[in-house]
Structure 1
Amino acid sequence: MGIFLLWSLFLLGLLTGPGASRAPMVVTGTLGGSVTLPLKLQDGQQVESISWVCRSVPGAIATVTLVEAGGPYTFHQAESRYWGRLSVVGPERSLQISHLSWADAGSYRVHVNLWSSRATHTREYSLHVYEQLAQPRVRVSTRISGNGHCLIILTCMAESRGGAVTYSWTPLGPQTAVSHGGSVLSVTLRPRDSTLNFTCMVKNPVSNSSSLPILVPPSCTGPGILGGEESVGETVIGTLGKSATLPLEVPVGQEVEKVTWSSRGLVAILQPGPAGEPILVAGTQGPYNQRLSIPRHNYSLQISSLRLQDSGPYRAWITLHSPPINITKDFILHVYERLQEPKITVSSQIMKDGTCFITLICSLDQPGEDVQYSWDPRGQGAIVSHGGTTLSVSWRFGVSDSYHCTVKNPISQSSSSIPVRPLCSGSFLPCCLRKEFLLFLILGALQIK
C-alpha cells in the first residue's frame, strides 16, 4: 500500500510539475495601466517553451519558444483581444499586459516546458482590475429634530465599477455609529453640542481618496449655515442662465411663522403676507439681488439667471406657530452649462505589422462637472480609460474610417468625430504593392538614363 501511494504521488508530480500551485496567485492591476504575471523559476532551470492561456479565450494568447537552452527566443501573440498589448519582461520572461480593460480580469495559466524535463510546469493566476477612485460624495440623507436632539445620517458614495471599495470616517466617537459596510455614518447631537466636521475616506487595492470636510451644525437650534461641497438632500438641476426652483411643501394645516433659506450664508426670509400668501422680506441684496421669486401659494424658492456659483447646498428652515416646532429640508443645486463640441486629439500612433495602434483623447475647453464621455465604435480590443476621455484601439484597413466621441451632462450632449485613415495611411499599402511600386520607380529611372 505504501509503495502504491508513493508511485501515485510521483505520477501526480509529473502531471502537474514541480512549479504547480493549488491556489492561484492574485495579481492586481489598474484600469488603463499595465500589469505583470510573474514567472518564477528555480535556479538552473532552462526554458524550452512557455505558453500563456486565458480561460475566456480559446487557445494560447501568447507563446515563447527557444531554439536552444539559454539562447534567443521567439515571442508570438495570437490574434485575440490582447493583440498588441502583450510583451515579455525580465530574465524569466514574465508576461506583461498593457492598456488593461475590465474584460482582462479573470483566470490565467502558464505552461512551462524545460529542456531538462518532459514534465510541464503549470502556474495559475487570478487577475483583478480596479480603477482609480474619484473623490467620494457625501449625502446628508436624514435630519430629524425632536426634544432638542438631532440624528444626522451621512452616506458616502464612491463611483466605482470595480467593487472592493472600503469606507472609513474621521473622527469617530461615542456620538457616532457606522453601518452598511462603513458607508453610512449616524451622528447623534444634543443641545449645545459643538459643530463637527466629518471626512469620508474610500480605498480599493490600487488607490484611495477622501471627501471634502462635511460640516454638521450644532444641534437643531437654528437654520445654520451650510459649507463644503457635500451632496445634501434633494437634488435640483439647473441650466446656466435659466431658472431653477427649490420645491418646499409646508404640512397641511400648519401655520407658518417664517421660512429661512440659507446656503453658506443667508439667502432669503419668507413670511406670510396679505391673505396668507408668502412674501419675500429679506434677500433682495447681495449675489441673489433681483434673482429671487416665490412660486404662487407656497414657500418654494425660485432662482433666475442662474450662475455656476449658485451650485451648492441649500437649506430651508421652517418655523411653525402651532404647534411650535422647527422643520428643515435640504437641497443640493447643480448648475450646468450646455456642452460645446468636444475636441479629439491623437496622443500616440504606432504602426506595426499592418496594424495601426492609436490613442485618441476627447476633451472640452470647459468641461464642468458630471460630464460623461463615450466612444463609437467600440470594436474588439478597444480600451477606454481616464474616465472615458481616452480611447486606445488597433486599427486595420476595412475597419470603421472614423471614431466618434460623445460628451454628455445632465442637461445637454454634443459629439465630434475624427477620420482614422489619414492617420494610418502610411502603414496600409500591401507589402507586394510596395515592392512593385519600388521596382516601377527603378525601371523608370533606368529608362531615363
Structure 2
Amino acid sequence: MLGYTVSQTEETPLKVKGVLGESVTLPLKISAGEEIVYITWLFNGTSIIFLEPKKKPILVTDPKRKHRLKITQSYFLQINELMMADEGLYRAQITTIDSSLIFDYSVRIFERLRNLQVSNHTQIFENGTCEIHLACSVENPNDHISFRWEVSENILLQEANLTISWDSKNSSEQTYTCIAENPVSDLSFSFSVQSLCKTENPRNAEDDPSSAGNTVYIQVTHPNTRKEIATSVENNDSSTIYSTVYQSNRATALDNVI
C-alpha cells in the first residue's frame, strides 16, 4: 500500500498521507539495471535503516521502530502500524556505482473518521410548518475535518449546522445528506425531511422486518401527555441520528439537543 500520494518535484518532497494504525510505503524511482552499493533511510535527519543489497542482514538503526520498519524487495521503506510519531520528513540516500541519488518525502498521518452523528431539534407549528435545526458531528473530530450538507446531490452548505424550514403543503419531499471528510476518509448520512416532520402514525421499526440500519429517536411532547416513538431510518452502521420534536400552537425557544 503506497498510501495517498501526489507527484514529486526536485524542489518539493513527495507528500504521502498515511492512516493511523495502518501501513504506508515510500517508493523509490531507480532505473532498471542500476547497481546499488548501499542505501540509507533517514527520518528527520537521523539514520533509521542502512542496507547493502549484496550483504545481509539489513541494519535497523531505530530501536523504537525496529519491528515496524520493513524494506521491500524493491528497497522501498514500509512503515507498519502507523503512529502519530511517524509523521515527519524522510529521506533515502542511495549510492550506486556511477552516482548518488536522494529522494525526499513528507509524511502526514491522519485518523479515519468514526461514527457520524446527526442531532436535530424539530419545531412543528399548527399551520403545518416544520422547522428543523440539524448538527453533524463525529466521534473523533480534529483540525483536518470538514462538513457539508447536500440536497439532491447539490452542495447546500459547507459547515456542520443547518436549519431547514419545511411546509408539508407547499414543499416537495427532499433528501438531505450530511458529509464529513478528512484527507483519508469520509462518512455520510442521508434522510428525508418528511421523516422528521411527521408525528402522526409513525412507522415502528418492528412493523417493517425489512428495515435495516439506524434508528431515529423522536420524543413528542403534547400539553398533557408525553410518549417516545422509535422509527427506522436506513443508513450505514456508522451513522446515528437523534431528534427531539415539539408540537405546539406557537413557537417556543429552541434548546440544543444531543
TM-score, scaled relative to structure 2: 0.58
Would you say 1:280 and 2:58 are equivalent positions?
A: yes
Conserved? CA contact 1:270–1:279, under 8 Å: no
Is the Cα contact below 8 Å between 1:269 and 1:280 reproduced in 2?
A: yes
Residues 392-411 of structure 1 aligned to structure 2 (within 5 Å): 392-397=163-168, 399-400=172-173, 403-409=176-182, 411=184
Distance 2:161 2:55 in 1: 54
Partners of 2:9 and 2:27 lie apart in 1 by 17
Distance in structure 2 (CA, Å) of the matches to 1:371 and 1:347: 24
Q: Aligned partners of 1:332 and 1:368: how far apart in 2?
A: 20
Letter in 2 for 1:295: T
Check if 1:294 corresponds to 2:62. no
Structure 1, residues 20-76: CA drift from partner, whole Å, max 9, x if none?
A: xxxxxxxxxxxxxxxxxxxxxxxxxxxxxxxxxxxxxxxxxxxxxxxxxxxxxxxxx
- The structure that has the greater radius of gyration is 1
1:37 corresponds in structure 2 to none
* CA distance, structure 2, for counterparts of residue 263 and residue 360 of structure 1: 45
2:101 counterpart letter in structure 1: I
Does the 8 Å contact 1:258/1:271 carry over to 2? yes
| Shift in alpha-carbon separation, 1:428–1:376, aligned structure 2, 3 A | farther
Please give the secondary structure, in 2, of the residue aligned with 1:309.
helix
Q: Is the 8 A contact 1:371 1:409 kept in 2?
A: yes
Structure 2 portions without partners, runs of 5+: 1-5, 198-217, 219-243, 251-258
Query: Amino acid of the residue matched to residue 426 of structure 1?
Result: Q
SS at match of 2:44: coil
Higher helix share: 1
Distance across 1 between alignment mates of 2:92 and 2:15? 14
Distance (whole Å) between structure 2 residues aligned to residue 314 and residue 336 of structure 1: 17
| 8 Å Cα contact 2:38-2:52 kept in structure 1 | yes
Alignment partner, residue 361 of structure 1: 135
Out of 162, 177, 183, the position equivalent to 1:391 is: 162
Once residues 239 and 393 of structure 1 are traced to their aligned partners in structure 2, the CA distance between those partners, rounded to angstroms, is 35
Amino acid at match of 1:337: E
Report the 3-state secondary structure (helix = DSSP H, G, I; strand = E; otherwise coil) of the residue aligned with 2:85: helix
3-state SS, counterpart of residue 89 of structure 2? strand
Deviation for aligned residue 1:299: 2.0
Partner SS for 2:247: helix
Quickly say closer, same or farther: Cα 1:378–1:309, change in 2 above 3 A.
farther
The percent identity for this pair of structures is 29
Offset of 1:243 from its aligned partner? 2.0
Hey, what's the Cα distance between the residues in 1 that align with 2:125 and 2:153? 18
**TM-score scaled to structure 1, two decimals?**
0.36
2:28 matched to which residue of 1? 248
**How many residues of Structure 1 are paired with residues of Structure 2 in the alignment?**
195
Is 2:50 the counterpart of 1:270? yes
Q: Report if aligned partners of 2:122, 2:132 keep a CA contact under 8 Å in 1.
A: yes
Deviation sequence 1:294-334 (CA, Å, 0-9, x none): 111x22101111123323332222233x32x4322122334
Mapping 1:288-327, distance limit 5 Å: 288-296=65-73, 298-320=74-96, 322-323=97-98, 325-327=99-101
The whole-number CA distance in structure 2 between the counterparts of 1:407 and 1:344 is 11
> Aligned equivalents of 1:309 and 1:240: distance in 2?
10
Q: Contact 1:402–1:420 (CA<8 Å) still a contact in 2?
A: no
Contact 1:263-1:315 within 8 A present in 2 as well? yes
The answer to whether the Cα contact below 8 Å between 2:36 and 2:95 also exists between their aligned partners in 1 is yes
Residue 246 (structure 1) shift: 0.8
Q: Is the 8 A contact 1:237 1:334 kept in 2?
A: yes
Amino acid at match of 1:339: L
Cα distance in 1 for partners of 2:36, 2:153 equals 61
Mapped contact 2:125–2:249 kept (Cα < 8 A) = no
With CA pairs under 8 Å and 6+ residues apart, which has the higher RCO, 1 or 2?
2
Structure 1 residue identity aligned to 2:161: T
Alignment CA distance shift 1:260-1:424 (3 Å): same
Q: Is the 8 A contact 1:237 1:335 kept in 2?
A: yes
Q: 2:9 maps to which residue? A: 142
Where does the alignment leave 5 or more consecutive residues of structure 1 unmatched?
Answer: 1-138, 144-151, 153-231, 430-449
Q: Is the 1:248–1:300 Cα contact (8 Å) retained in structure 2?
A: yes
Distance 1:362 1:301, change over 3 A: same
Distance 2:172 2:47 in 1: 57
- The equivalent residue for 1:332 is 106
Shift in Å at residue 248 of structure 1? Answer: 1.2
Match of 2:229 in 1: none
Distance 1:391 1:256, change over 3 A: same
Q: CA RMSD in A?
A: 3.9
Q: Secondary structure at the match of 1:365?
A: coil
- Distance in 2 between residues matched to 1:246 and 1:361, nearest whole Å: 39
The amino acid of 2:102's aligned partner reads: T
